[in-house]
């Protein structure tokens, strides 16, 4: 081997580990995951999302980085977390809920945002149309015709003498107000008297249940970050007051609610992985149509039914997607 060949070989040998280290230290594409409640509430959804990414070739900490943050039902945290994702130079933000998506867009207007559950993306001004969103936001809608009526009808099935129902939710959320209007219309159709039980912070929950005494025979929960984060307290108070509850999400029935009926949110988060995959490969949110829920689940908690002394009709049990015993 002559001197020139030796120098060439030595240079290549030295360059290889330097190149390898550079490749290893290269920045991974980064997803900012803004959870509206807590990991204990939304852990199954995270798992579904991460699994779908893996199927599409995005392996956490190997080919993609995921930064998780949890707002714990505190609305002021939404903008703070979004600003943190901006500083981290996230390539895409994944979140849910109308107020949270609005707050994220205000702070992170240059970052693609994938929402997993927004009641009315067009009406809330988040997208120009479902077919062509037109901005930096797209994802999965939570819209479903007459879902409030279906939930009230389910309460009527388990409590045939039901006459008065309370709607409990964070009325600062525009989605909750829209759902309240749907509940009012459905209640009139079913011959029920509906009243609101407004909460704006966790400290309001105990007083809200105190005010329900002799006013309601069941509680319809408007699911969003504040309510979801306080699901255990709400379910304990409802059980103590002997009030059957219906929720929008499976995890909240599993946490001690009587029933839930709504979109399968784990499936929604799984499908969000497809949006993120397309965006990380160069697609623009403006060109990705908003999708609708395709899977709805009915969950019945028989343990709670027994504690309340409620006999669930066998026909309803037969229709359930999950029965907790």
We report the CATH number of the domain holding residue 104 as 3.40.50.2300
pLDDT digit string (tens) for 247-299?
A: 988 888 999 999 999 999 899 999 999 999 999 999 999 999 999 998 899 99
Judge whether 155 and 184 are in contact, CB under 8 Å.
no
Residue 4: inside a domain:
no
The dihedrals phi and psi of 73, each to the nearest 5 degrees, come to 75, 10
pTM exceeding the 0.85 threshold for the entire prediction? no
- Position of tokens 């008065």? 164
Residues 315 and 166 in one domain: yes
The rounded percent of the chain whose pLDDT value lies above 70 is 92
| Residue 55 shares a structural domain with residue 203 | no
Rounded to the nearest integer, the mean pLDDT of the chain is: 89
CB 250 within 8 A of CB 265: yes
What is the Cα–Cα distance from 135 to 137, expressed in whole angstroms? 6
Does 68 share its domain with 164? no
Q: How confident is the model at residue 115 (pLDDT cuts 50, 70, 90)?
A: very high
* Residue 202, C-beta contacts closer than 8 angstroms, at least 6 positions apart: 73, 226, 229, 230, 233
DSSP string over 77-102: HHHHHHHHHHHTT-SEEEE-SHHHHH
290 and 240 part of one domain: no
Q: Identify whether the C-beta of residue 120 lies closer than 8 Å to the C-beta of residue 175.
A: yes
In which order are the strands placed within the sheet that holds 164-169?
A: 193-198, 164-169, 218-221, 245-247, 259-263, 296-301, 322-324
Which domain does 305 fall in, by range?
147-263+297-324
Counted domains in the chain = 2
- Both 92 and 184 in a single domain? no
Is residue 16 one of the residues assigned to a domain?
no
Do 314 and 250 have their domain in common?
yes
Task: Give the C-alpha separation, 277 to 57, whole Å.
Answer: 9
Worst-scoring range by mean pLDDT, 36-40, 167-171, 313-317? Answer: 36-40
Give the separation between CA 34 and CA 67, rounded to whole angstroms: 8
Please enumerate in sequence order all residues whose Cβ is within 8 A of that of 196, keeping only pairs 6 or more positions apart, or say none.
Answer: 166, 167, 168, 169, 171, 180
**Which residues make Cβ contacts (< 8 Å) with residue 184, sequence separation at least 6?**
194
Q: Are residues 182 and 319 in the same domain?
A: yes
Q: pLDDT value at position 245? A: 97
Tokens of 87: 């500083």
- Mean pLDDT, rounded, for 128-135: 96
Q: pLDDT class for 37, splitting at 50, 70, 90?
A: confident
So what's the pLDDT on residue 4? 46
89 and 76 within one domain: yes
Q: What is the DSSP letter of 64?
A: B
């Amino acid at each position: 081997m002559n001197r020139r060949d030796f120098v060439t070989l030595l240079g290549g040998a030295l360059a290889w580990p330097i190149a390898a280290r550079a490749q290893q230290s290269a920045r991974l594409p980064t997803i900012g995951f803004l959870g509206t409640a807590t990991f204990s509430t939304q852990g199954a959804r995270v798992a579904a999302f991460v699994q779908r990414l893996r199927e599409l070739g995005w392996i956490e900490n190997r080919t993609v980085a995921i930064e998780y943050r949890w707002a714990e039902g505190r609305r002021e945290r939404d903008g703070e977390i979004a600003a943190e994702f901006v500083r981290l130079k996230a390539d895409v933000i994944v979140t849910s809920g109308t107020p949270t998506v609005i707050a994220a867009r205000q702070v992170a207007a240059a970052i693609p945002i994938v929402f997993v559950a927004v009641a009315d993306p067009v009406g809330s001004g988040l997208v120009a149309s479902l077919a062509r969103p037109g901005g930096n936001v797209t994802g999965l809608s939570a819209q479903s015709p007459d879902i409030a009526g279906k939930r009230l009808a389910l309460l009527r099935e388990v409590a045939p003498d039901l006459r008065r129902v309370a709607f409990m939710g964070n009325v600062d959320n525009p989605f909750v107000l829209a759902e309240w209007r749907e509940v009012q219309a459905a209640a009139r159709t079913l011959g029920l008297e509906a009243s609101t039980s407004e909460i704006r912070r966790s400290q309001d929950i105990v007083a809200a249940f105190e005010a329900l005494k002799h006013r309601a025979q069941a509680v319809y929960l408007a699911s969003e970050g504040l309510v979801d984060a306080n699901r255990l307290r709400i379910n304990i108070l409802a059980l103590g007051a002997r009030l059957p509850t219906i929720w929008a999400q499976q995890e909240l029935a599993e946490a001690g609610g009587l029933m839930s009926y709504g979109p399968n949110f784990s499936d929604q988060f799984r499908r969000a992985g497809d949006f993120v995959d397309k965006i990380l490969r160069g697609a623009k949110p403006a060109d990705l149509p908003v999708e609708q829920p395709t899977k709805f689940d009915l969950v019945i908690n028989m343990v709670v039914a027994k504690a309340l002394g409620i006999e669930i009709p066998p026909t309803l049990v037969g229709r359930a997607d999950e029965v907790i015993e």
